[in-house]
Structure 1
Amino acid sequence: MNLFRTKSIEQMRETAAHSGMAKTLGAFDLILLGIGCVIGTGIFVLTGVAAAKYAGPAVTISFMISGLACALAGLAYAEFSSIVPASGSAYTYTYASLGEFIAFIVGWNLILEYTVTASAVASGWSGYVTGLLLSAGIDPGHALTHVPADGGIINIPAIFITLLLSVLLIRGTQESTKLNRILVGVKLTAIAIFLLLAIPHVDTMNWEPFMPFGVSGIFGGAAIVFFAYIGFDAVATSAEECKNPSHDLPIGIIGSLVICTALYVVVAGVLTGIVPYTELNNPEPVAFALRYIGYNLGSAVVGVGAIAGITTVLLVLLYGQARIFFAMSRDGMVPARVCKIHKRYHTPYIVTVMGGIFVSIIAGFVPIGVIAEMANIGTLSAFLVAAIGVLVLRITKPDVPRTFRCPLVWLIAPLAVLTCGYLMYHLPWETWVRFIVWCTFGCLVYFGYSYQHSALAHPHDDEE
């Protein structure tokens, strides 16, 4: 069995050039796309959880470590994106370098990562909106805003926002990008307000002890907050809708990563400087911190910014999920008929609808536990494989055109592998068990369907 057959880069480029999707995104759009997905749940929720339970005030170092791991992997992604300007991010890159079976497992894990994370973010959006309604004197009812396991019947807000954004994504990438620009502006304004109000109240005594959980706590926190950095992978999924992907994608990936890491470190430092880290284990730590120092109105404004922030995260996650699925269906890994492009809107509408419905069902009826860990292990594994793949391509295809070359690749890529692997090591063992079970199920799908239906197994079908 030829499990490690690879797709030719020339074929990928040709397919991407004639995908039928509208090419409307520039480098600035890609940076905002990354910020739209990275700055959201992580900065408005995970900063507090990671500080209270894992790293204490040293959560700033946790974000730096996660940012470093992403930067190392991001350089590999950037080189890949300049070689293979096609949808699918790490799945597509692996298919070109390490072969079909490994690519399928990477894509399988990315679908899980995007679906589970989007469901969690939709539930978080529901929680923020419900809280805002309650503070305004409007009670939407526990039964209609909570899943059965939490004493409710159905989480309607989570279903509503998921389906609404799915419809918007079907209508067109350009329209979705316009909404993302507006909401990114709102949440960056909210973060700026938080910093302006909070910085004068920073008390350095709150940073003592700086590492209450020791070095292992810092790395444990880094493994958890890695959840926040999934956005730069979503940038890579947009390749076929870029005006100049080989030039713009590296800028979008690296640019959004640098901006987001800086924001995370600053916000985490200020947050732990105004509130003792032991009090930050709550679902709205940034808004809570402003109430803690007496800015109730500022807290409400930041709450609105958090809703905008979480909305953009969900928007980009649904976008990325559809593009991964689209790339896999086009390759025959899943039924090819679902990768049709809408004749009017030029978007992969069937996979967008399927993904939106699936996410809304999970968010509406299922309690989401240990979401960050499950999303993290899938993302880390994809980054690790991509870093190996870029080295393999340097050996197997040294002469292929690269508009961006990873600097010091024989140092950067191995460091990316080691860093991502070390963060995976720090995730709970229950997460590893679930990860292995999911990968095993994926193997059954691959050998039961994908291997026989792969486009590489029927190379002449397109000619008929």
Structure 2
Amino acid sequence: MSQEANLKKVLGLGDVMGIAVGQIIGAGVMALTGVAIGMTGSGVTLAFILSSIFTIFTTLPIAVMGSAIPTTGGLYRYSSRLLSSKIGFFWMLMFIVGNLTLAVYAISFAQYVQGLVPSAPIMPLAFLLLTVFFLTNLIGVKFAAIVEKVMVIVLVVALAIFAFWGMPEVNYAVFNAKDMFPAGGIGFLTAVALLSFATGGAQVVAELGGEMKRPGRDIPLTIIVTTVGVGILYAFMATIAVGVLPVSEIANKPLTDVARTILPEPLFIFFMIGGAMFALATTLNATLSWVTKGVLIACEDGWLPKSLGKVNQKYGTPHWLLTMFYVIGCIPIFMSVPLETISALGTGVYMVAGIIPIIAATRLPNKFPELYQNAPFKLPTKALYLICAIAAVLLFAQSYLLITSLASKYIYGTIIYIVLAALYVNIVGNSKKYGVKKNLDFFNEADSKS
């Protein structure tokens, strides 16, 4: 019996919206706004807006595929079924290493705790948070979704308070050509690329198609609505972040000092807990709810041991895969890798991988014309091709900027990993010993009945 069949269709639109918002609002805005200010000064507001527009382009093809063929582990399945099994698993290997960014959420959370309690230790707190949400997701995706919705409501209220109190305090004189582009065009575009880590994330709901009640409608609706809505909120927050205090005081720092300046003490504490900490906690929780799904299907396909993808029948969760990603998230914590390095490395690699499902979307109208035409959300074929081309160029350019901004050892390490991944795919894919499926269907029996 397929382990995928043990997953439960329990997620409604509200659950999925909560997961998407929780995924988007997280370490990106809380930890990387200061980093982006260091790169581009008061240009950070424009960088957030441009990044959100780019994100819409790069996620629309996923929305189209998710509407036409909703399934578990969507991005892996689209890559392996619409292109080839080998290409699909190569995407998976890039995706796995990209999730070193799990550590970003946990470390940033600990930094905000330290903003309230200066003596709080960063690394033990980060490890504790990662462990708590690892255990939460072991219990089941529905329980994790309920926790997510509660935290997201508190989170949105906290961020709205920050925006409401902060806008009257903004010095709009800082928004001039000199202060907006201190490092020139390259610095600005690198900041835009880095902030895709903040504005992206909604597309991950395509991983949960097998656990959603109405995936064909809810996947594209969630991706578009949450990306646009959160992007607008980010623009307000970035304006406040850079317009209240001098750039030199907030560059490469979290939003703690800005919040302390504009908010009364009780609201400052509420923002730090319900805003900053919940933003990071919701993203970590949301990530663990979907991150295993594509790997689960890869196990079914024979690329990895099937025992690794075993799903607990009581809770409907892939406990060994959750444990694998838990360990991946712990590695940067214990190695004390800087936040900006983890973010640039993980996001850069993930963007390289992201080109593959974008290319896969161009195969959808010809390979599954009936499903494409009957999808609740679709684009004219020529428009789809144009958007996919734009998305691929954007992803390549942004990944190049991020990866080349790293220290040499990380660049060489990334290149070596990519080469080894390609070798593994060819060796395993050509070996009968591993039994990798050659004719791959999109659905298991449970999917086909939905």
Q: What is the TM-score of this pair, normalised by structure 1? A: 0.85
291-300 or 177-186: bigger deviation: 291-300
Q: Which amino acid in 2 is paired with 1:60? A: T
CA contact (8 A) 1:88 1:327 kept: yes
2:279 to 299, 303, 309: 309
- State which of 126, 138, 158 in structure 1 corresponds to 2:110: 126
How does 1:87-166 map onto structure 2 within 5 Å?
87-114=72-99, 116-134=100-118, 139-140=119-120, 145=121, 155-166=123-134
**Deviation at residue 350 of structure 1 after TM alignment:** 1.9
Measured after TM superposition, the shift of residue 268 of structure 1 is 0.8
Instruction: Count how many residue pairs are aligned between Structure 1 and Structure 2.
Output: 428
Moved more, 34-43 or 323-332: 323-332
* 1:237-248 mapped onto 2 (5 Å cutoff): 237-248=207-218
Q: Which residue of 2 aligns with 1:3?
A: none
Where structure 2 has 5 or more consecutive residues not aligned to the other structure, the ranges are: 445-450
Secondary structure of the structure 2 residue equivalent to 1:344: coil
Matched with 2:353 is 382
SS in 2 for 1:19: helix
- Whether contact under 8 Å (1:73, 1:386) holds in the other structure is no
- Is the CA contact (8 Å cut-off) linking 1:111 and 1:324 kept in structure 2? no
Identity of aligned residues (%): 23
Q: CA deviation at 1:296?
A: 4.2
Matched, 1:446 2:425: yes
2:49 is the counterpart of 1:81: no
Residue number among 133, 156, 160 corresponding to 1:192 in the alignment: 160
Name the CA distance, whole Å, in 2 between partners of 1:262 and 1:65: 11
- How far 1:327 moved relative to its partner? 2.3
3-state DSSP of counterpart to 1:440: helix
1:420 matched to 2:370? The reply is no
- Judge conservation of contact 1:194–1:302 (CA < 8 Å) in 2: yes
Residues 40-439 of structure 1: pairs in structure 2 closer than 5 A: 40-52=26-38, 54-114=39-99, 116-134=100-118, 139-140=119-120, 145=121, 155-208=123-176, 209-285=179-255, 287-293=256-262, 295-304=264-273, 305-368=275-338, 370-401=341-372, 402-407=375-380, 408-429=383-404, 430=406, 432-439=411-418
State the alpha-carbon separation in 2 of the partners of residues 445 and 229 from structure 1. 32
SS in 2 for 1:25: coil
Question: Counterpart in 1 of 2:16?
Answer: 30
- Code of the aligned partner of 2:55: C
Greater CA deviation, 448-457 or 213-222? 448-457
Q: 8 Å contact 1:207–1:272 — kept in the other structure?
A: no
Amino acid at match of 1:338: L
Contact 1:227 1:375 in 2 (8 A): no
AA matched with 2:388: A
> 2:72 & 2:353 partners in 1: Cα distance?
15
Amino acid at match of 1:292: T
> Which whole-Å deviations, capped at 9, do the CAs of 1:260-299 have from their partners, x for residues lacking one?
21111121122222123332224422x2113234744433
- Structure 1 residue 310 displacement after superposition: 0.6
* Mean Cα deviation higher: 93-102 or 394-403: 394-403
Amino acid at match of 2:355: L
Tell me: CA distance 1:451–1:316, structure 2 relative to 1, closer, same or farther (3 Å).
farther
| Cα deviation 1:219-271 (Å, max 9, x = unaligned) | 11111111123422322211111112112111121122111211111211222
The C-alpha deviation readout for 1:392-440, integer Å capped at 9, x for no partner, is 2223433334332135213211111122222223224246544322211
State the 1:77 CA deviation. Answer: 0.2
The SS at the match of 2:144 is: helix
Query: How high is the TM-score relative to the length of structure 2?
Result: 0.88
Q: Deviations over 1:332-391 (max 9, x none)?
A: 221111111111111212211232234234423443451111122223223322222111
Amino acid across the alignment from 2:390: L
Distance in 2, matches of 1:67 and 1:15, equals 38
Q: CA contact under 8 A between 1:37 and 1:312: conserved in structure 2?
A: yes
Structure 2: which amino acid aligns with 1:440? Answer: V
**CA–CA distance in 1 between the matches of 2:220 and 2:330?**
32
In the alignment, the residues of structure 2 paired with residue 356 and residue 240 of structure 1 have an alpha-carbon distance, to the nearest angstrom, of 23
What is the distance in 1 between the residues matched to 2:435 and 2:25?
Answer: 37
* Alpha-carbon distance in structure 2 between the residues aligned to 1:437 and 1:44: 32
The CA distance in 1 between the partners of 2:247 and 2:363, in whole Å, is 44
CA RMSD of aligned residues (A): 2.5
Unaligned runs of 5+ in 1: 1-13, 147-154
> In the aligned structure 2, how far is the partner of 1:387 from the partner of 1:222?
20
